[in-house]
Structures are given as structure tokens and as C-alpha cells.
Amino acid sequence: MTTRIAILDDYQDVARRYGDWDSLDAEVVVFTDHHDDIGHLEPFDVIMAMRERTPFPRERLRRLPNLKLLVTTGMGNAAIDTDAARELGITVAGTGGTPTHTAELTWGLILALARQIPEEDARVRAGGWQQTVGFELAGRTLGVIGLGRLGSQVARIGEAFGMHVIAWSQNMETSLTKEDLLRRSDVVTIHVRLSERTRGLIGAEELALMKPTAYLINTSRGPIVDEDALLAALHNNAIAGAGIDVYAEEPLPPDHPLRTAPNTVLTPHIGYVTDASYARFYEDAVEDIAAWQRGEPIRLID
């Protein structure tokens, strides 16, 4: 029987452009819209998930009796219950990725806030001219929460801008505390994985420590920051603003209060959405499926 493959959450409708799906002996169906229910996926043997756009906990996996292979972009996906998949006989495979995409977006958000780029762009288009005064980064303090691969890249760019860089994470041996970092930083940027230790890492108490002139950037995962506390801080001018790419609920509901929050630059979780990363994701996904069809699965995730 022909293998049936579902490609999920292809928002930009580009999966066929970046991967050679025609090389597979399979029927490929692309879903460009997000679906909360997964009933439409029951007939498929293979599912390709884009990051954590569609979660696969145990109860969902149980509802997919034909599923044999679940491919996710990247080599880890917190939204997939890999233990349940293994128990149900579902192979989980991943892909490679590119190392710089989220660091680049982080700096896009920092610069957009510091120089009020969205506001001034809108003013020019409306027939107006300059009105804001920019926040110069040189000589300011950049606080990096999480100094792994991405955090280190962001830190190096901060140094290139002439910023003083300080860093903290739960895994670092340093005399600097999280509280010290929050008090001293002019820009705080988050680069840690979402886990039980980091969920709610930045809440009302932490935001209250920040300077009223400071900016918060989150390109990691939404639940790391308490959204209610952030909204309160923004409306009370407790911080100067926030650049946000990730949210507790995605896609962000149309009536979510962050959409109208002051002093914000919002992007729709596009930190990893680049031509280079999509090419790697979809090319590797095709390779994963071809290997699985041969009975020689690769890039397995336990």
C-alpha cells in the first residue's frame, strides 16, 4: 500500500518548494492551516510536524492508529511524548537545523524597540516625519539569560555593538545572580529551554527588578515569561517595552491582550523561519522518510 504522509502547519505553503517530496514513493498531503483537532490525521502513516506548532501528547498519539513515523524539525520537540510514541510503536525522527536564525531575530527585535522602527515606519507611511528619540545601545548593559549556543551568539553581537554583556543561567557557575542581572541590564534577553525549572522564570517579582527604561526580549518559549505579569508591567510603564516572538498559546488568539499592549514589537514565532533552516528541515525530513521506508531509520529521537 502507498505510504500516506501529512505535512502539518505549513503556514507559508513552502514545504514542496524546500523538500523533494516527489522523490518518495508516497502520497503527500500538505496542511497549511493549523488544526486543534487531529481527526483528519487518522489515515496517515507518516506525519511531519513543524517544531511545536501541533503537540503530540499520549492521548493524541493513541488516536492515530495508522501512524508509524513522526518526523519533527530539529532533534528535540517538547510537544511530543516520546515515551508514549515508543510504547505505541511509533518511530520519532528529527532533522538538522541552522545555528543563527533565532539570534538574528533577537537583534531585529532589540533594534526595532531601541530605535522605534515600527512606529517611525508607520508614521512615514501616514505622511508624517520623525518624532521618537532612539535608545542608543553602545555603552549600555545587555543581560543574557542562558549562555548556550544561541545566548552566546547574541552576546557576541552585543559586544560588537559596544555593549557591556553580563549573563546568568541556572547552569552557570557565577557570582552574578538573576536578580543582579535584572537590576543592572538595559536589555534583558532570554535564551533558555522551556522546562519545569524555567516555566514562569520571569514573573511579576522579576519584572519589578528591571529598570523602567529597560527592554525585555523573549525568543525562546512563551511560558518562560508570565504573560499576565508582563502585560501589567507594560501598561504600568514598569519597563520600557518588550520584543516578543513566542507565546503561551500559539497561534496567538485574535483577541489576545498582547496584540494591543503598549511599547511592544510582536512577531509570530519566526525565530527559526528562514530559507536556510526550512531547506534543512524539509530536505532532512524527506531523507528521514526515505530511510524509514527502506527499513533503516535515521536521526532517531528517543
Mean pLDDT by runs of 10 across the 302 residues of the chain is 95 97 97 92 97 95 97 93 97 88 96 98 98 97 96 98 97 93 98 95 98 98 98 98 97 97 97 95 98 97 91
Q: Which residue has the cell 527588578?
A: 209
- Annotated catalytic residue, options 191, 221, 227, 287: 221
Please give the pLDDT value at position 199: 96
Q: ∠ CA(183), CA(185), CA(188), 5° rounding?
A: 110
Q: Could you read off the pLDDT of 188-211 as tens digits, one per residue? A: 999 999 999 999 999 999 999 999
- pLDDT computed for residue 36 by the predictor: 87
Assess whether 221 carries a catalytic annotation. yes
Centre a 10 Å sphere on the Cβ of residue 215 and count the other Cβ atoms it contains: 25
- What CATH topology corresponds to 101-266? Rossmann fold (3.40.50)
The pLDDT assigned to 245 comes to 98
Q: Quick check: 161 and 187 in contact, CB under 8 A? A: no
Active-site entry in 53, 250, 256, 299 = 250
Domain with CATH 3.40.50.720 in the chain: 3-98+274-293, 101-266
**pLDDT computed for residue 126 by the predictor:** 98
Of the listed 51, 60, 101, 269, which one is catalytic? 269
- Was domain 3-98+274-293 assigned CATH 3.40.50.720? yes
Closest CA to 8 of 40, 34, 26: 34
Look at residue 272 in the predicted model and tell me its pLDDT: 94
269 is catalytic: yes
Predicted structure pTM score: 0.93
What pLDDT score does 302 carry? 86
Distance of CA 289 to the CA centre of its chain: 25
